[in-house]
Structure 1
Amino acid sequence: MSTPSTPGTPSTPGRTPGARAAALRHALATRVVVADGAMGTMLQAQDPTLEDFQQLEGCNEILNITRPDIVRSVHQAYFAAGVDCVETNTFGANHAALNEYDIADRIFELSRAGAHIARQVADEYDAGDGRQRFVLGSMGPGTKLPTLGHTDFTTLRDGFQANAEGLIAGGADLLIVETTQDLLQTKAAVLGARRALTQAGLDLPLVCSLAFETTGTMLLGSEIGAALTVLEPLGIDMIGLNCSTGPAEMTEHLRHLARHARIPLLCMPNAGLPVLTKNGAHFPLDPDGLADAQENFVRDYGLSLVGGCCGTTPEHLRQVVERVRGLTPPARTPHPEPGAASLYQTVPFRQDTAYLAIGERTNANGSKKFREAMLEGRWDDCVEMARDQIREGAHMLDLCVDYVGRDGVADMEELAGRFATASTLPIVLDSTEVPVIQAGLEKLGGRAVINSVNYEDGDGPESRFAKVTALAREHGAALIALTIDEEGQARTPEHKVAIAERLIADLTGNWGIQESDLLIDTLTFTICTGQEESRGDGIATIEAIR
């Protein structure tokens, strides 16, 4: 067994992390970048011993410490094949995976060591011929699905943050959240990575790569449209597919992404669907077949980053390099569809043949039946009320649990957690309490809409407006914005429109929210009271909308 490595914080001579990230962004924007292939099978082929694994059989990340020579040799084989970048041996360096070995406290250590090894090899090849190589920090999904209650969002997010912190410290140029199976798990990884980047003061590319089953959906049933609707608003730099299937099964998903994604695309398929033999799994797609597929994907769908996953070898990637090196991804003209999403499907905000209908019977303030079921803990009845509205044609469901004397966070966790899998429709999180909204966001794998923000208590850093908007930005949620300012609810069309314009300018210019992700509510007081001063409110609201 070789001497364990003790990585520090490396830096490529003359190239800071920021400069390397900028160079990688430029490469991705101007040509096709080629990544490596399978890591696990390459490591296992060298027959590491149980001692090498520190008695933790199958924990490949331990080899970053005990056998860095083996890990180095894998990176060297791929760079020798001509690839531009390699992924770190950190696919399982997250809380869910390492906790199964009772070593969750080593996430940072193993992540940093893995990135350090890849950084050293990349720098050596840089020095050899002057062509810049890059390190992709691998953030795998782990083994727990938060949507199914296997673990909680905060534990996952904090574990992924430690994973990203180690990768950054070790010299990664890009963070790739890959092989994701649960959109809530994916969001936890992205938020953890974003927090690590903010803490480090770096702007490295952050990428999501999804695993779709032969069923055509992710493991929990998410369609490609839902995944794009959920993840693109998180501010990721690229989206694509890897693992689970070969390239043939990825075609329709890539077609959808090419048509609708505003951001660049990637694809790293397996070497075909595995065939079980007496000697284990066999991947039937040969190097020429993978090269054919990737060349076609670049031409047809404008991919910027290509590589391989399970079953692919240095020879597979050598042939991919030969086919795509020097190609420029063709320009795409995407047609994005702003909307919200459940775990399963996306719902556009603009409906072709109807208005956007939000079902309000799952609101404790608006439905006596729902409120009583919630107060009595009849959760299945609450879920059935949601399903009734789905059957009756609602496009989204308003979920409000606010009730005096109740623990709103606990109620929201219970109901949002149930609605996450029971509802095929997106959820509108409706609460006056910021912690209650946050609790809902951390239970929903889909893209929620937050109801609401306004200027009733101003727009300073401690205002509810600022706190809710910060949550929306972090979680990629859409916002309902109300025409209320410091003077109260607007009553005239002119005042309503003025506040709406202020909200739009503020939320887009200062907070980075897309204008297409704002739903403006021009409001009205109850107009059937018979009070003289409210007689014109309905007309004022209609005129403000106009």
Structure 2
Amino acid sequence: MPVHEVEALLRERILILDGAMGTMIQRYKLDEAAFRGTRFQQWAKDLKGHNDLLNVTQPAVIEAIHRQYLEAGADIIETNTFNSQSVSLSDYGMEELGYELSKAGAECARRAVAAVTAAQPARRCFVAGAIGPTTKTSSISTDSNDAAARGTTFPELVRAYAEQVRGLLDGGVDLLLVETIFDTLNAKAAFFAIQQLFAEGARQVPIMASVTFIQAGSNRGFSGQTVEGFWNSISHVPLLSVGMNCALGPKEMRPLIEELSQLAPIYVSSHPNAGLPNPLLPTGFPETPDSLAPQLREWAQNGWLNIVGGCCGTTPDHIRSIADAVRGVSPRRPGTVEPYLRLSGLEALTVRPESNFVNVGERTNITGSPAFSKLILAGDYDKALTVARQQVEGGAQVIDINMDEGMLDSTAAMQKFLRLLAAESDIARVPIMVDSSKWEVIEEGLRNMQGKGIVNSISLKEGEAKFLEQARLIRRYGAAMVVMAFDERGQADSLPRRIEICERSYRLLTTQVGVPPQDIIFDP
């Protein structure tokens, strides 16, 4: 479906998202044999609970659940593909099924939409391809003995997500929903994969994002980012909407969705759990349709919502009540934000006209700090982190990290230092400036930053083609950039030459790459 159909509806009213898939699957009480079907009867691992596999072994069940949500009033249904990528599927030894399960999941949802719209021709219903966070994290260590260890890497995630997205698009989804984001770096890999596919000619559809905050009473997510820090980290993506889902019930999510609705200049969604889990209750969750819907109606009346639905513990009855509750309530009108430079580590940094000089700590630059260089060359990363900590404590708002040293594997050093730094919340709260004369080192830095940092630097020294290629990748990774006054003729040696090169760079970046002017920092 054309993009404008979704956006036209969003301007008219609040759209209804579906509810939990897992909760509904549990009602069918499927046993191991049902999950296996005929095809996987001899599979070596247990498959009960592998819900995405039902797209191919029990497609009628999945299609029936989709139809129940559509009949309850959902405008958007999510595919049953939360874990349909190789990283998560490796738990079952099914890494090769990412594309197939994603495509089959999209086709199940499409059949449900076709059946419902055939009976109700006036209905306009959409299929959102559900893209989960995977079962691994790329920004947090899972090894208590090695803070630099990671369960997965950015390139591995990009490959896995690209395969999943290809399947979802080939299966006919109208939207892509990167949801239950608990690790912003994982999500950035998903967005990178989507934008890469679009650039390669794949069918383009609107992109939605939804983050998960896991601790009641806290405005920090699983990886430690604040709401604003998260938003700044993904604001480079051309999103249709941003929202929150899972982990929390409406009472706990309320202040977080209020904050997000005030920050984001795009449509906002929310699909909370039916309260906090309680295994003693019949559904495992306390919120009934009658108790959940009025709370979400209040959010809508406050002007916080454009899309609303339910996550864990919700059912078609919850969605029907929510649809009834928000019917007639005006949708939130996205606001505008000032075009300021907005960065983030775990916390946000906004550079406003009235801001004083931004302090960039450069003692973690191996080319300019003999003490730091000595520590890194000796492999003493713990003491090197102390240097970074001292800079933040001394007032640095951004930390410049440079590992360009002939006796060092600079790419490996950049990776290790950034991963270790990510475990130190008192340091990681500020944005990172990745500083190198080597593109492969810069790119490794970008692959290990969950926040929105700065690249230092790029220039026209190697010509327009290389300049534009690097700028597009920096933009896709989600960073601001320092631009040097160099071109094919060398470094600018006069004021007119500086102006000439900077004007040319600015024009190329803004017109051919789409870089917001506020994300361009000139170093003439």
Q: What TM-score do the two structures reach when normalised by structure 2?
A: 0.91
1:29 aligns with 2:32: no
Equivalent position to 1:237, from 213, 218, 240: 240
Q: CA deviation at 1:281?
A: 6.6
Equivalent residue letter for 2:23 = T
Quote the residue 1:57 is aligned against: 48
Quote the residue 1:146 is aligned against: 138
Q: Could you tell me whether the CA contact under 8 Å between 2:468 and 2:513 is conserved in 1?
A: no
Quote the residue 2:184 is aligned against: 183
Equivalent position to 1:287, from 286, 289, 297: 289
Equivalent position to 1:46, from 24, 28, 32: 28
Quote the residue 1:5 is aligned against: none
Quote the residue 1:270 is aligned against: 273
Q: CA deviation at 1:298?
A: 2.4
Residues 96-495 of structure 1 mapped to structure 2, 5 A cutoff: 96-130=87-121, 131-148=123-140, 149-199=150-200, 201-213=202-214, 214=216, 215-277=218-280, 282-336=284-338, 338-342=341-345, 344-350=346-352, 352=354, 354-422=356-424, 423-459=428-464, 461=465, 463=466, 465-495=467-497
Q: Could you tell me whether the CA contact under 8 Å between 1:350 and 1:356 is conserved in 2?
A: no
| SS of corresponding position for 1:398 | strand
Q: Could you tell me whether the CA contact under 8 Å between 1:358 and 1:398 is conserved in 2?
A: yes
Q: CA deviation at 1:290?
A: 2.4
Quote the residue 1:86 is aligned against: 77
Equivalent position to 2:66, from 71, 75, 86: 75
Cα distance in 1, alignment partners of residues 163 and 402 from structure 2: 34
Aligned pair count? Answer: 499
Higher mean displacement: 351-360 or 408-417: 351-360
**What per-residue deviation string (whole Å, max 9, x for no partner) do you get for residues 282-334 of structure 1?**
31122133222222222323422111001111111111111223444242434
Q: Could you tell me whether the CA contact under 8 Å between 2:463 and 2:487 is conserved in 1?
A: yes
Q: Could you tell me whether the CA contact under 8 Å between 1:34 and 1:85 is conserved in 2?
A: yes
Q: CA deviation at 1:204?
A: 0.4
| SS of corresponding position for 1:157 | helix
Higher mean displacement: 399-408 or 294-303: 294-303
Cα distance in 2, alignment partners of residues 417 and 398 from structure 1: 15
TM-aligned CA distance change 1:491 to 1:200, over 3 Å: closer
Cα distance in 1, alignment partners of residues 261 and 364 from structure 2: 37
TM-aligned CA distance change 1:289 to 1:196, over 3 Å: farther
| SS of corresponding position for 1:520 | strand
Q: CA deviation at 1:457?
A: 2.5
Q: What percent identity do the matched residue pairs reach?
A: 32
Cα distance in 1, alignment partners of residues 302 and 397 from structure 2: 33
Higher mean displacement: 76-85 or 494-503: 494-503
| SS of corresponding position for 1:208 | strand
Equivalent residue letter for 1:187 = K
Residues 520-531 of structure 1 mapped to structure 2, 5 A cutoff: 520-522=522-524
Cα distance in 1, alignment partners of residues 516 and 22 from structure 2: 40
| SS of corresponding position for 2:296 | helix
| SS of corresponding position for 1:234 | coil
Cα distance in 2, alignment partners of residues 352 and 256 from structure 1: 23
**What per-residue deviation string (whole Å, max 9, x for no partner) do you get for residues 399-426 of structure 1?**
1101124322111111122223322211
Q: Could you tell me whether the CA contact under 8 Å between 1:162 and 1:196 is conserved in 2?
A: no
| SS of corresponding position for 1:301 | coil
Q: CA deviation at 1:126?
A: 1.3
**What per-residue deviation string (whole Å, max 9, x for no partner) do you get for residues 332-351 of structure 1?**
43435532111x11111338
Name the Cα RMSD after superposition.
Answer: 1.8
Equivalent residue letter for 1:243 = C
Cα distance in 2, alignment partners of residues 25 and 198 from structure 1: 22
Equivalent residue letter for 2:125 = R
Cα distance in 2, alignment partners of residues 425 and 37 from structure 1: 37
Equivalent residue letter for 2:238 = G
Q: Could you tell me whether the CA contact under 8 Å between 1:207 and 1:238 is conserved in 2?
A: yes
Q: Could you tell me whether the CA contact under 8 Å between 1:259 and 1:334 is conserved in 2?
A: no
Cα distance in 1, alignment partners of residues 124 and 283 from structure 2: 35
Cα distance in 1, alignment partners of residues 503 and 196 from structure 2: 31
Higher mean displacement: 106-115 or 475-484: 475-484
Q: CA deviation at 1:51?
A: 1.1
Q: Could you tell me whether the CA contact under 8 Å between 1:65 and 1:113 is conserved in 2?
A: yes
Quote the residue 1:543 is aligned against: none
**What per-residue deviation string (whole Å, max 9, x for no partner) do you get for residues 407-463 of structure 1?**
22111111122223322211100111111111111111111100112222321x2x2
TM-aligned CA distance change 1:171 to 1:96, over 3 Å: same
Cα distance in 1, alignment partners of residues 374 and 282 from structure 2: 56
| SS of corresponding position for 1:456 | coil
Higher mean displacement: 333-342 or 56-65: 333-342
Cα distance in 2, alignment partners of residues 420 and 270 from structure 1: 29
Q: Could you tell me whether the CA contact under 8 Å between 1:272 and 1:283 is conserved in 2?
A: yes
Cα distance in 1, alignment partners of residues 135 and 327 from structure 2: 36
TM-aligned CA distance change 1:421 to 1:334, over 3 Å: farther
Equivalent residue letter for 1:184 = L
| Unpaired stretches in structure 2, ≥5 consecutive residues | 37-45, 141-149
Quote the residue 1:533 is aligned against: none
Q: Could you tell me whether the CA contact under 8 Å between 2:64 and 2:112 is conserved in 1?
A: no
Cα distance in 2, alignment partners of residues 494 and 34 from structure 1: 56
Larger Rg: 1
| SS of corresponding position for 1:221 | coil
Cα distance in 2, alignment partners of residues 198 and 488 from structure 1: 31
Q: Could you tell me whether the CA contact under 8 Å between 1:260 and 1:334 is conserved in 2?
A: no
TM-aligned CA distance change 1:309 to 1:424, over 3 Å: same
1:512 aligns with 2:514: yes
Equivalent residue letter for 1:473 = R
| SS of corresponding position for 1:100 | helix
Q: Could you tell me whether the CA contact under 8 Å between 2:20 and 2:311 is conserved in 1?
A: yes
Higher mean displacement: 387-396 or 326-335: 326-335
